[in-house]
Amino acid sequence: MIHKNRIKSAKVLYKSIRPFLLCTFNVVFIKFLISFAFAKTEPIFSIPDVGLIDNKKKESFYLCFNAVQQCTVLNVDQVVNIDPYKEIFYQFGEFQLNFPKGRPTLTSHDHRLSISLGASIQLDIGGIIGPDKKQNGSRMDGSQSFLRRGRFNVAVRYDDFIFNITPDVGRPALVNDSIYEAYLKYIGFKNTIIAIGLLQPPVTMFDTESSNGFILVERPMIVDLVRNLSGSDARLALMMTHWNKRYYVSASITGQRLGETYKDFQRNELGGNLRLAVRPVILMYYDLHIGISGTFITHGDSRKFSLSTGQEALIWLGRPYLKTGTISGVDNVAAIGPEFALHLNRFLIQSEYYSMFLQRVSENSGRKPNLHFSGWYASLNYVLLGQPRSYDESRAVFGPPIGSYFNPEAGEWGGLELSVRWSSLNLNHYTHRMDDKSYFLGIQGGKQNVVSTGFNWYPSAHMRISLDYNHVMATRSRKNYYNLTGRTSNLIMSRVQLTF
């Protein structure tokens, strides 16, 4: 009997730590598979001249703008990697095939026409570790692995017109008929983009970032909810973006998203987005970014609307901890909030807050109160190895760090960053309000806080390996099978990303 109990205890222990073991194996295994990114690096104290850059014996350089300090991987201001594909090209009649930044591109002799191919592949593995504190609801122990994104892009450019189509075979993209985007854009005006088609209009600061450079594996909860109102992937939209060194403006008019799963409020909906940002402080080691974002949608085929969110990890897709259920009589929904980012040398502080307002109308069941939900996040990022995150003026966001090519023999380990984030969401309103017939008028979708931390390792410009930990604390979500009485969970996630 004692022997059987020990075996049972060992099985329970293994099941609880299995996600951690799988994530660790994922990182270690991929690390030893990297063999294409060897480089020789040399620290220098000023920007090298053209002759030094053209030296074929070197592939990476460290640039430190302060000539007094010693330039190392821990304090480098800029990493310059020699493009290994620069001199690789093939001639096919009137066209030339080359590989700028590793991307196959076919260009006509007059450079008016070009066709390029790209890809973004992200494989996620993770699960809940330790006890999953709950009284009722579905078990979600064990681990999951899935293809988060499997995007293959084809871009055709003729003069100032670019047509993009990007199929996505990742699991979340199934709701969009496996299409991420298909649109036409015009770039003939300086620092301006005009686009129409199925695209992802920018809504918030974090939403405007590329998923290839997120500080953590997934977006904050409130950002996911706000972007899905009248933004997100495969959205029928007309968009215009303009920027310069000091400001950024983006506006869009949107329709419904592609896919048969969108119905009721979301089918035939009409909306719009506006994002404004300024950069009042621009110094060598300091940047200040402030802005405001807003989004608005009106109802489509019906006024039935709902909101839900998971654990800032999509390994348990379709099992939300917070859920409002169906809210009837919703005529329109609006969200607005400020955004803030402060760059201090190797540190980056970011935060956003959004309020969501649901305007309701009276239907058969009588008067319904308007509703208000809110959420925010605050994050801290520190680049341990490599070039710190830098400002992308065309998106008004801070892009991922840059590291030297992975080469253990030369003592080079690529780029490495550490991030911490606190995220909060409140889907409760009028939780104790009843009408004169004792019908519940409010919404008890629950409150949730997620504390996350994680590492991102960049062994080359085409690869990223992430390891995240999420501590999730959710209150009761009424009539939500996955969280009937409150839930506290610990999740670990890993991601392997390949891009070109």
pLDDT bracket for residue 339 (50, 70, 90):
very high
CA–CA dist 12, 390 (Å, integer): 45
Q: Which two tokens stand for residue 289?
A: 């970014």
Both tokens of residue 76? 């480098």
Say which residue, 251 or 269, is predicted with more confidence. 251
The CA-atom distances, in angstroms, between 306 and each of 131, 329, 330 are 30, 11, 10
Considering only residues 118 and 363, tell me which one the structure prediction assigns the higher pLDDT. Answer: 118
User: What integer pLDDT is reported at residue 20 of this predicted model?
Assistant: 46
Q: What is the mean pLDDT of residues 150-156?
A: 96
Residue 24 pLDDT > 50: no
CB 172 within 8 A of CB 314: yes
- In this prediction, residue 68 carries a pLDDT of 58
Between 174 and 450, the more confident residue is: 450
Pick from 201, 167, 423: nearest CA to 310: 423
Domain extent for 460 = 2-499
Residue 325 has pLDDT above 50, yes or no: yes
Tokens of 97: 């095939």
CATH number of the domain residue 198 falls in: 2.40.160.10
Q: Structure pTM? A: 0.85
Give the whole-angstrom CA distance, residue 257 versus residue 200.
Answer: 10
Does residue 342 register a pLDDT over 70? Answer: yes
Q: How confident is the model at residue 135 (pLDDT cuts 50, 70, 90)?
A: low
pLDDT at 125 over 50: yes
Q: Phi, psi at residue 316, to the nearest 5°?
A: -110, 60
| pLDDT, mean of residues 206-227 | 96
Token digits for 219? 């977006």
Most confident region among 29-38, 184-193, 356-365 by mean pLDDT: 184-193
Query: For residue 233, is pLDDT > 50?
Result: yes
For residue 219, the model assigns a pLDDT of: 96
pLDDT reading at 49 higher than 70: no
Kindly report the average pLDDT of the chain as a whole number.
85
The model's confidence at residue 52, banded by pLDDT at 50, 70 and 90, is: very low
Number of domains present in the structure of the chain: 1
**pLDDT more than 90, % of the chain:** 56
**Top mean-pLDDT range of 55-59, 268-272, 355-359:** 355-359
DSSP 401: P
Which bin fits 283, alpha (ψ -120 to 50), beta or left (φ > 0)?
A: beta
pLDDT of residue 217: 95
Average pLDDT for 125-133: 82
Residue 388: pLDDT over 90? yes
Among 24-33, 37-46, 182-191, 404-413, the range scoring the smallest mean pLDDT is 37-46
Q: Which of the four pLDDT bands, split at 50, 70 and 90, describes residue 473?
A: very high
Q: What is the pLDDT of residue 9?
A: 44
CA distance 204 to 218: 15
Q: Give the C-alpha separation, 500 to 483, whole Å.
A: 40
Confidence (pLDDT) at 13: 41
pLDDT at position 116, please?
Answer: 97
Top pLDDT among 23 and 38 is at 23
Asked if 341 contacts 452 with a C-beta cutoff of 8 angstroms, the reply is no
320-335 mean pLDDT: 92
% helix / strand / coil in the chain, to the nearest 5? 15, 50, 35
Tens-place pLDDT, residues 64-115: 887 756 788 888 898 988 888 888 889 988 999 999 988 999 999 999 999 9
The mean pLDDT value for 45-63 works out to 51
For residue 15, CA distances in Å to 18, 128, 142 come to 5, 10, 6
Q: What percentage of the chain exceeds 70 in pLDDT?
A: 83
CA angle 80/86/91 to nearest 5° reads 170
**Residue 251 confidence (pLDDT) above 70:** yes
What's the mean pLDDT in 24-31?
Answer: 42
pLDDT-wise least confident of 231-235, 293-297, 477-481:
477-481
